[in-house]
Every structure is written in structure tokens, then in C-alpha cells.
């Protein structure tokens, strides 16, 4: 058996990588959208139109999408973006709603988001030109904390929120441990700071609803070591190459855990 696995690995290395995965890793589009581009006849390999997603490629191949040569020579870059309420984190929306990517400066290269913020959420959104970097920074094994300021309609006591430290199951969905602290209460509105690692879709809203609290404002203020700080709404700021290199290096060591 070990010999067969070794042979299979060698064969895979010789064949290369499926073109949909390769282009997704290059940050062109998701694998599904790459497959759509192939069907539309917009992807060429060594000057020949690609006919099926199962086509294998290598970094040395000549690959074009919409007439543009794609390569991995561009250095990975990372930006902090202050997403306002009312934008969705997707490149195209069937309903025609405004997107994060349509709001970016025209001088920006094509970028993808690291995680998402829903339509009614705001705050820090990390953007990168590199699909591999995006997946690396999203890995749960990084133990990176996502931190939010959350305003809820309703009141609650700290002891009840402390139940979240051991995780919670809601409607058969198990949520990982969460740290939630009361910052202030005024009338029937309460401000919380919520820290979590998992970051499931609408996780905070669903958990607050479980406590009969309605989220009326949700602001992400940190994603791992990257902070929103004083970045104005709809503004974008590139992380320096030195800072990016330092943080990526920490991901492979225990000291990189937050």
C-alpha cells in the first residue's frame, strides 16, 4: 500500500494541478466561477482553449483568462478595509446590490476577501490579491481571534454570557467557546465586546437571538493581529510587507496563537 500511495503522489506531481484549483489559488475566482469561465471559453492553456475543468496545469504553463496572462510572480499583498453597512462581500450579486469590490478604488488589483461580513455588518475586512494567502489566514488552526463590538436591543447579565465560554449548542448546531463581555448598558441597549475563533455565518446574531437579544449594530474591530483602529469607513490601507511577513511567519509557531 505505501508504494501505491507513493506512485499516486508522483503521478499527481507529474500531471500538475487541476486548472480550476490553480486559478482559484492565483486569486482569479472561486473554483466554481473558474469552471463557468471555462464553459464560456474564456480560459486558454498554452494558446489552446480549455474545454474541461479536469485539465491539469503547472506553474510553467502559459495560462490566460479573458486574454490576460496569469502568473504567481506578483507578491502576496494584504489590505485592511473598513466595510460600511449596506455592502455585500461578493464579486457579483444576482440582486444587483452594491458590493465591497465595486466600492474599491479603480487602482486596486483584483482582490478577494478573507472571511466575510454580511450586509448589515461593518468594520474590518481583510483583502488580498492571493488566494493561497486568503485560505491560510482563514484556517481555524491559526487560533486567530475575531473581535467585535456588538450593540444589542435588550439587557443581559454577565453571568449568563459567561455560559458561552464552554461553547453552546443552538438548534443542533454546536458553537465553539466565545468570550462576551458587557461594556455598557443604557436603557434597553447594551454594548458588548465579543471574541471568537470560529466565525460561522451569522454566528453572533444567532447566539444573541438565543438570549432574546436583537443585534442592531455589529462592528468587527480585529481579525487576529490586524486591527480596525481609526481607519475611516470605506477607507482602505495596505499592510506593509514587513508586517505581513512577520504575521505569516508566526502562523507556523506556537507564539502565533492569539
Q: Which residues contact 97 (CB under 8 A, 6 or more apart)?
A: 88, 119
At 211, list the grid cell: 438570549
- Active-site residue among 118, 159, 162, 212? 118
First to last CA, the chain: 40
Helix (H) or strand (E) holding 217: strand 214-223
Task: Answer yes or no: 118 catalytic.
Answer: yes
Q: Return all residues near 33 (Cβ < 8 A) that are at least 6 apart.
A: 91
Cα torsion through 143, 145, 146, 152, rounded to 10: 130
**Is-contact 156 189, C-beta < 8 A?**
no
Q: What is the DSSP letter of 207?
A: H
Residues composing the chain: 258
Alpha-carbon span 90 to 29, nearest angstrom? 11
**Residues labelled catalytic:** 118
Amino acid at each position: 500500500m505505501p508504494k501505491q500511495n507513493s506512485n499516486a503522489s508522483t503521478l499527481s506531481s507529474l500531471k500538475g494541478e487541476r486548472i480550476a484549483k490553480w486559478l482559484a489559488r492565483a486569486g482569479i475566482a472561486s473554483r466554481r466561477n473558474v469552471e463557468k469561465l471555462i464553459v464560456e471559453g474564456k480560459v486558454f492553456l498554452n494558446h489552446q482553449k480549455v474545454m474541461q475543468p479536469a485539465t491539469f496545469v503547472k506553474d510553467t504553463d502559459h495560462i490566460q483568462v479573458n486574454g490576460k496572462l496569469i502568473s504567481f510572480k506578483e507578491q502576496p499583498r494584504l489590505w485592511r478595509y473598513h466595510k460600511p453597512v449596506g455592502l455585500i462581500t461578493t464579486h457579483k450579486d444576482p440582486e444587483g446590490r452594491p458590493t465591497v469590490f465595486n466600492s474599491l478604488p479603480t487602482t486596486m488589483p483584483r482582490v478577494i476577501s478573507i472571511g466575510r461580513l454580511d450586509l448589515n455588518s461593518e468594520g474590518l475586512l481583510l483583502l488580498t490579491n492571493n488566494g493561497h494567502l486568503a485560505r491560510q489566514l482563514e484556517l481555524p488552526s491559526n487560533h486567530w481571534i475575531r473581535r467585535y463590538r456588538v450593540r444589542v436591543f435588550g439587557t443581559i447579565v454577565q453571568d449568563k454570557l459567561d455560559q458561552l465560554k464552554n461553547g453552546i449548542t443552538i438548534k443542533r448546531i454546536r458553537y465553539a467557546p466565545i468570550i462576551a463581555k458587557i461594556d455598557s448598558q443604557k436603557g434597553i441597549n447594551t454594548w458588548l465586546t465579543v471574541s471568537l475563533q470560529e466565525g460561522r455565518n451569522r454566528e453572533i446574531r444567532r447566539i444573541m437571538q438565543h438570549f432574546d437579544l436583537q443585534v442592531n449594530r455589529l462592528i468587527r474591530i480585529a481579525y487576529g493581529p490586524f486591527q480596525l483602529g481609526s481607519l475611516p469607513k470605506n477607507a482602505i490601507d495596505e499592510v506593509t510587507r514587513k508586517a505581513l511577513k512577520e504575521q505569516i511567519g508566526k502562523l507556523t509557531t506556537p507564539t502565533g496563537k492569539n
